[in-house]
Amino acid sequence: MTGIVPTERGIGGTAAADALPELVVVVFAAVTHLADPWFLFAALAIAYWFAGDRLATAPRRAGAVAIAAVTCAYAATALGKAWFAVPRPPGAMPPADVPIWLPGLVAGWYEAQVLSDGFGFPSGHATGAAAAYGALALLYDRVWTARRRLLAGGGVAVAVAASRVAIEVHYVVDVVAGLLVGAGVVVGVLGLAGDARFRGFGVDRVVGGSEIDPTPAFLLAAALSVVAAGVAAAGGHTGEVVEAGIGIATGVGGAVGWLLVDGDEPAVPVRIAVPALAVTGSLWVGAYALAGSLAVTLIATTAAVVAVVALPALPERFGWTA
């Protein structure tokens, strides 16, 4: 579908990025980590496991819905990138312009940040940031006021979006589209989950968020990813097929994991969460490392997500509460 979104779609963002001081660009390269998939899913998993009643009306349900929202956001991104199939800015291609004053290890990190392959529209980082920080702001409803939470979440999402333009891996239109898609995903997912604040979505209305259900959103993410995989395969985009496959596994794994959870479990004990994080993290890293074998990637991702979502229920089921 190349042509719907033009290959040359800059509106001055590239020139502005070129004019930034090197130190500012290096700082933006660090800011972009706030929406790396590994960072978002790790942060959301930790919030899901450990949050208590002081943070949310229904902390386990809030955390699961937040994870589902980000899963949907990445599924929408995979579909958009495969559908529009437009390249990133020239600055995302090697060789990288690395500041000569950066020490060796930092220079290697910086080069990895400012070089990026794959398609550019919409920005996955901007979409994920809007979905993740928007969902956190809306679901963890006992922290600050709603206004302060939304301002903070929106500020982080905009900072991430700006960072992607500053390090020249996206055009401005890519990140603006990502922010809009991410925000729309949050509204849709909370509606599907049954959040009474977003009437017009879903079927059963829930007052107070005590019975919100992430299952429809996880299943939606899987369905969107199936479509994305089909579009990517038809276009011969192998990398996007793998990304869509991970989205299918994440959506299915989330829905399966939630079948084991009641939704009112207490926080996960640290002595259980630490080894669980190590195991699930290893599975997640392995899923990407073995991306050449789609079957292994799907199995590892599904297992990791099932474990993450089901973990709050496991201590009681297996007598680990003592």
Q: In angstroms, rounded to a whole number, what is the distance separating the alpha carbons of residues 33 and 160? A: 8
- Give the three-state DSSP class for 141: coil
Q: For position 3, what pLDDT does the model report?
A: 56
Task: Name the DSSP letter for residue 204.
Answer: S
Q: In angstroms, rounded to a whole number, what is the distance separating the alpha carbons of residues 8 and 182? A: 23
Whether residue 208 is predicted with pLDDT greater than 50 in this model: the reply is: no
Q: For position 321, what pLDDT does the model report?
A: 60
Which tokens sit at 210? 């005590």
Is 197 or 60 the better-scoring residue by pLDDT?
Answer: 60
Q: Buried b / exposed e across 187-198, counting CB within 10 Å, b at 16+?
A: bbbbbbbbbeeb
Q: For position 158, what pLDDT does the model report?
A: 98
Instruction: Name which of 91-95, 98-102, 175-179, 276-280 the model is least confident about.
Output: 276-280
Q: In angstroms, rounded to a whole number, what is the distance separating the alpha carbons of residues 242 and 237? A: 9
Q: Are 251 and 304 in contact (CB under 8 A)?
A: no
Which tokens sit at 70? 């980000």
Q: What pTM does this model have?
A: 0.93
Q: For position 10, what pLDDT does the model report?
A: 66
Q: Buried b / exposed e across 261-294, counting CB within 10 Å, b at 16+?
A: bebebeebeeebbeebbeebbebbebbeeebeeb
- Distance set, CA 301 to CA 46, 191, 254 (Å): 17, 26, 10
The region, left, alpha or beta by phi > 0 then psi within -120 to 50, assigned to residue 202 is: left
Q: Which residue has the tokens 């690395």?
A: 98
Cis peptide before 94 (omega within 30 of 0): no
Pure H helices in 53-122: 59-84, 104-114
Whether residue 202 is predicted with pLDDT greater than 50 in this model: the reply is: no
Query: For 8-27, how does the pLDDT look when each residue is reduced to its tens digit (9 = 90+)?
Result: 666 656 767 778 999 999 99
Is 21 or 7 the better-scoring residue by pLDDT?
Answer: 21
Q: pLDDT grade, residue 284 (50/70/90)?
A: confident
Q: pLDDT grade, residue 209 (50/70/90)?
A: low
Work out the average pLDDT over 150-166. Answer: 98
Whether residue 292 is predicted with pLDDT greater than 90 in this model: the reply is: no
Percent of the chain with pLDDT strictly greater than 90: 73
Q: Which residue has the tokens 């192998």?
A: 238
Contacts by 32-39, CB closer than 8 A, 24 or more apart? 32/113, 32/125, 32/160, 32/163, 32/164, 32/167, 34/129, 34/156, 34/159, 34/160, 35/125, 35/126, 35/128, 35/129, 35/132, 35/157, 35/160, 36/125, 37/74, 37/124, 37/128, 38/284
Query: For 84-107, how does the pLDDT look when each residue is reduced to its tens digit (9 = 90+)?
Result: 999 999 989 999 999 999 999 999
